[in-house]
Chains A and B, each alone.
Chain A
């Protein structure tokens, strides 16, 4: 004989509803945080919210410069990893201080020297903060409006 099982009891429903409401309140709690604060797993989801204007924007990045002055992009994996957001974060943070910029620069220079290939002609690595006109950039004007070299180091080819 099948034992009858009652539906979820009333007190259990109130308890579950209360717990669900508490979880929702917890998720909404970061609305009270300052916008500069973010965390995980609670967040105020600030992505794409800051005021950013297309005509003038600064980007921290890494370039390899050959002996004749040709500038080349260093592949992601030689900078930090294959993940572009991780690389952007690594370079952005390193570019904030002269020591950290120099340390990252030297690490990348060593990896570039070992890698050879397309970057075999690289003589110098630069960690730079460049300011671009974002609209002009995608119309072909790739040169930055301003370039601030945060660290420079030689590539000692093996």
Chain B
């Protein structure tokens, strides 16, 4: 048991979790802004269509006033900005999780569930309780400034003054949080794979049903007057293509939990899953925004190395002792 605990709590860099926090916050900001017209339209629909789902089924019997929904959306956008910047994180993070649940749940209460929002909310739940703003945040910057001032006072007066330290100095909680985020991601893919096998059996892997879904989705879009995938329609005549595509989809989904056993396997899986989602866009024009953006898988990669990478890619400034270029004229 101790070995399992040691593995679960093996340290990971604090900056990686902070990177995930920033990306998730920015994703919420972008996604809610992008969905703004639909969210506002939903709030102004015929109340008869309203069928609350999830926690709203217990809390709401009738739609909210549109102005209240607008205020909720505005608050969510503000909280997402604070979350990404790491301002008052311990307060803001749980509030953002609740706000995103409220907005997405409310939107889903008008008859259409968007399945890529589930994982976003689950990730926010975990981040809400995690020490994800210890670095790369305004909270951390303020803390370090306060500590520097305290240290300066100490050295001036010669008296001992305590300074604050990180909640998780060895990065163990960061490691655990990142592993939990990954486990939740894998669990949702596993569920989607199992649903296919439960509904259609192993016959799903032959590709006939995938071909049927691609035909149906594109045809429905065409008949409703929406843009559809011409390539998806064109490929339908090549039945043989759909067996490997369907097998790939099922392997990605059902096999997802196995990748938790090794870091590199998880990274290969994440890239394959990203390709799988881009494939859905190309063949069906269905964007599952959260995984498609890559943010859902970001914690599996060494985000902490990003600043170094950026520094290396930036053109080098001239060495201080190099001769200065003569001024023109």
Interface string of A21-37 (1 = CB under 8 A from B): 00110011011000100
Interface centre among B101, B188, B222, B225 (most CB of A within 10 A): B225
Assembly CA distance A88 to B191 (angstroms): 25
Chain B contact surface mostly = helix
Q: Is B76 an interface residue (CB 8 A)?
A: no
Q: Is B125 an interface residue (CB 8 A)?
A: yes
Interface string of A90-114 (1 = CB under 8 A from B): 1101000000000000000000000
What distance in Å separates the Cβ of A64 from its nearest Cβ neighbour in chain B? Answer: 10
Q: Which residue of A lies closest to B184 (CB)?
A: A27
What distance in Å separates the Cβ of A125 from its nearest Cβ neighbour in chain B? Answer: 13
Interface range on chain B (Cβ under 8 Å from partner): 35 or more
Instruction: Indicate whether A81 sits within 8 Å of B38 (C-beta atoms), given known contacts A30-B191, A132-B219, A134-B212.
Output: yes
Instruction: Indicate if the CB atoms of A49 and B199 lie closer than 8 Å.
Output: yes
Instruction: Indicate if the CB atoms of A61 and B165 lie closer than 8 Å.
Output: no
Instruction: Indicate if the CB atoms of B184 and A83 lie closer than 8 Å.
Output: no
Residues from chain A with a CB closer than 8 A to the CB of B41 are 81, 86
Instruction: Indicate if the CB atoms of A52 and B187 lie closer than 8 Å.
Output: no
Assembly CA distance A93 to B42 (angstroms): 16
Q: Which residue of A lies closest to B100 (CB)?
A: A41
Q: Is A156 an interface residue (CB 8 A)?
A: no
Instruction: Indicate if the CB atoms of A40 and B105 lie closer than 8 Å.
Output: yes
Chain B contacts with A in 74-133, Cβ cutoff 8 A: 101, 104-105, 108, 110-113, 115, 117-118, 121-122, 125-126, 129
Q: Which residue of B lies closest to A29 (CB)?
A: B191
Q: Is A43 an interface residue (CB 8 A)?
A: yes
What distance in Å separates the Cβ of A78 from its nearest Cβ neighbour in chain B? Answer: 9
Instruction: Indicate whether A135 sits within 8 Å of B236 (C-beta atoms), given known contacts A17-B176, A23-B180.
Output: yes
Instruction: Indicate if the CB atoms of A27 and B165 lie closer than 8 Å.
Output: no
Interface string of A55-91 (1 = CB under 8 A from B): 0010101100000000001111001011111111111
Assembly CA distance A144 to B223 (angstroms): 11
What distance in Å separates the Cβ of A142 from its nearest Cβ neighbour in chain B? Answer: 8
Instruction: Indicate if the CB atoms of B225 and A54 lie closer than 8 Å.
Output: no
Q: A residues within 8 Å of B by Cβ?
A: 1-5, 7-8, 13-14, 16-17, 19-20, 23-24, 27-28, 30-31, 35, 38-54, 57, 59, 61-62, 73-76, 79, 81-91, 93, 130, 132, 134-135, 137-139
21 CB contacts below 8 A, A to B, read A3-B164, A8-B172, A13-B176, A14-B5, A28-B187, A31-B191, A38-B113, A40-B117, A41-B117, A44-B191, A46-B195, A47-B115, A50-B199, A54-B215, A61-B223, A62-B224, A76-B226, A79-B224, A84-B226, A134-B215, A139-B237
